[in-house]
Chains A and B, each alone.
Chain A
Amino acid sequence: MFSYTFHWNQALKALPQMLDGALVTLQVALLSMVIGLALALALTACRLSGNRILGGFATAWVEIARNTPALFQIYMAHFGLGNFGIHLSPYTALLAGIAFNNAGYLAENFRGALKAIPDTQTRAGRSLGMTPVQAFRYIVLPQMLRIAFLPVTNQMVWAILMTSLGVTVGMNTDLAGITQELNARSFRTFEFFAIAAVIYYLIAKAVTLAARLLAARMFRY
């Protein structure tokens, strides 16, 4: 049918290299999620603080993260910060870009989750003699994390998919970067990228499955 001969052997020989790249991909995604979660909690706290400057800052962060492309945010970290004399390596720029993006989306998830928890519960906690921090820590936070768990795992899958954007700023150690490098050497574009697609798919499915098992264990009544 096609006058093109597929060379799967050559691509499969590079599989160990690509799997190493997959580990870097997972590492970046996990790190960006950890940083993103911490930032999102901080942003949520800023929004709840009632302070207008902090609240405005958090809202601006969330709206920028949600209304511009992730690729733009990575470009901003990689090229834009150069104006201030900050030159990030592709790895750091990718991590910073995705973490910024994650923080925005996760903060919005947290806000939605917070809305689902009735105010009366906080008041009940307060009238039992809890301080505002205690009421938040022991009553609101556990429920919020439970409600937000599914969106957070979705964001984790998104983070994995977003790491592939690193290749556009010259990242060459993650799965997409290694695939692109192999491709540049051999021009077997379809074979290499098809294998990369399969690996990405499997990682995404594995993460979803792990999250589901974790949820079943953690959120048992």
Chain B
Amino acid sequence: MELLTPGTGLLFWQVVVFAALFFLLSKMAWKPILSSLKERETSIQTALDSAEKAKAEMASLKSDNEKLLKQAREERDHILRDAREAANRIHDQAQADAKKNGDRIIQDAKAVINIEKQAALRDVRTQVAQFSLEIAEKLIKKNLANDTAQKELVNSFIKELKLN
């Protein structure tokens, strides 16, 4: 059948044109197209890779930051604790000193008071004795002004003596 027998002319032209088309397209079309596609593929891949790397770097940076922060926080706590301890110590010390001072002052005061008291008491005693003597003198002077009173006194003395 005619449909199935290839025509020599078309066969010839097809070989020539297809071969030419292949060489021309390879040089002028496929080479630039495929190379730019490859270029794009690699650029996308490198972009993705660098993004991944940046992400990892960010994560490590973040963990570093956190570590630093944690360290700083610990240091702060440490310093605060130290300061508080120091303050407490100083406070206690001051309190103890103050107490000691106070005690000493009180003791000194007590001693002074005692001495003063003794002195005052001694004073009071001598004065009381003086006053008693004076009172007794005045009484005696007054009571022994008449005879009966003297007699009575002598009598009372005698009575007392008798009893003894």
**A and B: partners?**
no
Show the binding face of A for B, using Cβ within 8 Å.
none
